[in-house]
Structure formats: C-alpha cells, structure tokens
Amino acid sequence: MSKHVLFAVMLLTLGVIGHCAAAQPMIELTIGGSTRSFSRAALLARPDAAEIHVPRDVAYGTSTTYRAVPLADLLDSTRLPADSVLEARATDGFAAQLPMDLVSNRDPATAVAWLAVEDPVKPWPNLPGKSVSAGPFYLVWVGREAASVRSEQWPYQIAKLGTQPSPSTRWPVLAVDPALPATDPVRAGQGLFITQCLACHRLNHAGSADTGPDLNVPMNPVEYFQPAALRRYIRNPASVRDWPGRTMPAFPRDQLSDREIDLIVAYLAYMAQRKVGE
C-alpha cells in the first residue's frame, strides 16, 4: 500500500471515529449556573446505575424495565431555594417545570425520580403512535406514590436539565393578582396550568416550550371555544378536532380530573383579562 493510500485510510478512519464520538447522545445538566454534560455511555457505566421496574409507565402505557441513574445523585444534593424548579427540556420543544422537592426526593415511600438511559445494545421500542422511542434520556418515577406524579412530569427525549426560579417568579406575567385570596380557585388553576400546560404552551409569551401555541395572545381559548367544547378538548383533543400533526395527548381522569380541568379553565378565563402587549 502506498504512503498516499495509507494516509487516506488513516484520515478516513479518524473521521469515522470522530463522527461516532460526536454522535454520542449527551444530556446537559445545569445546576446554579454550573453546567456539566453526560454521555449515554458514561451514565450507563456509573456505579449508581441500576435496573429499575416501572409498573405504570406513562409514556408507554405499560410496565417497563430500565437501566437508570437516581436523579438525586446527579443533582448532588445541591442546596437551592425552596421555590426553584428543575426545567427538563426535550428535543421536540417540550419543557417541564419540576419542583425541586419532588426531583430531589430519595424516599421510596413517596416518589423517586430516575433518569432512564437507553442502551444502544438494547434499544427501547417506539412510543405508541410515534416513530421514535422515549430515549435516549427519559425521566421516570418509582416508589409507592409514583402514580401520583402527573403525566407532564415524565419528560422523555430530554436534552437539557437545569435549575430555574419558580415559573411565576421567572415569568411574572403568568401570575394572578397578589390581592387575589389564597383560597381562590384561580390560584389552584395557575398551579395546574404550570404543571400540565406550560410544558407545551406559552402564555403571555412566557414559558420555555415550543410545542403548542400561546394560550393567551392573540386570543385565549375561552374566547373561541364554547365552555363544554373547551373542557372536552382539554380532556381529549381528538374528540373535538384531529389532524396528522396533532401532538396534544388525551388526559385520562386519573391524570386530570374534571374538577382540575374546571380550575385550568377558570385560570384561562382570568388571564384572558390580563393580556400582555401582542
């Protein structure tokens, strides 16, 4: 083999190796302004990685088993303000706001967060109705009260995890009037909206998600839906209108009750009177 051919082969080999290294899935974790990145291989090789069984997997709708790392271990018990959240940003624009006391919990008597990592040797199946899996990184829950963790708090295809101030502090235009009584149902609706809706939608241009439309500007859903149709749409969008690109899922009653839908609608109606400049 000539020197020129050998050199070309070496360059091609290095290029292939470099491409494989660059293609290694990574997840970025930002805690208090300090950022670390973890490759899939590094997470799978961690000594705290374990096989866990999820009896009721929200994304797949069945029982599943994963190789996963305790999320609290990745957070490294960092001391953070009590009202801060962990924002989970997915590759499709989904952005869940996860309370720090929830994601940092280690007590299996409640609910414990694990970062499931897709093993390339044993790839996960495609999600129901989709052409992709939940991987390479998916936040799942185990423990006696795992079923109480809401559906939007099971983000999959995660690209970034990062601490942020509470949503109402970060985006004041989401907040109700401070003079509103603490027991007003609209306040409960605000909390539900942040957990269930802000993961896909923005409101008053506030939020990190890029999946669904803004729900207050230019128009709020209460301005173009009849009340019964809006509640039905939130429960199961396909029962009102459907199209090939629809991404909004249905919410079974064990994930979002009729009363909770009423509270979200009450918050939307309230915020329709508090629009920001378009």
DSSP designation for 62: S
pLDDT in tens, 136-189: 999 999 999 999 999 999 999 999 999 999 999 999 999 999 999 999 999 999
pLDDT in tens, 37-93: 999 999 999 999 999 999 999 999 999 999 999 999 998 756 677 778 999 999 999
- For 171, other C-beta atoms within 10 Å of its C-beta total 19
**CA-to-CA distance for 49 and 244, rounded, in angstroms?**
38
What are the structural domains, with CATH classification, of the chain?
24-165 (3.90.420.10), 168-271 (2.60.40.420)
Of 92, 95, 135, the closest CA to residue 116 belongs to: 135
pLDDT value of residue 19: 44
**CA-to-CA distance for 33 and 103, rounded, in angstroms?**
18
**CA-to-CA distance for 181 and 172, rounded, in angstroms?**
18
**CA-to-CA distance for 192 and 198, rounded, in angstroms?**
9
Asked if 79 and 101 count as a contact pair (C-beta separation under 8 A), the reply is no
Asked if residue 136 has a cis previous peptide bond (ω within 30° of 0), the answer is: yes
Hunting for tokens 């129901």 — which residue is that? 128
pLDDT value of residue 1: 54
Q: Which of 14-18, 148-152, 187-191, 206-210 has the lowest mean pLDDT?
A: 14-18
CB-based contacts of 276: which residues, under 8 Å, 6+ apart? 173, 204, 205, 216, 217
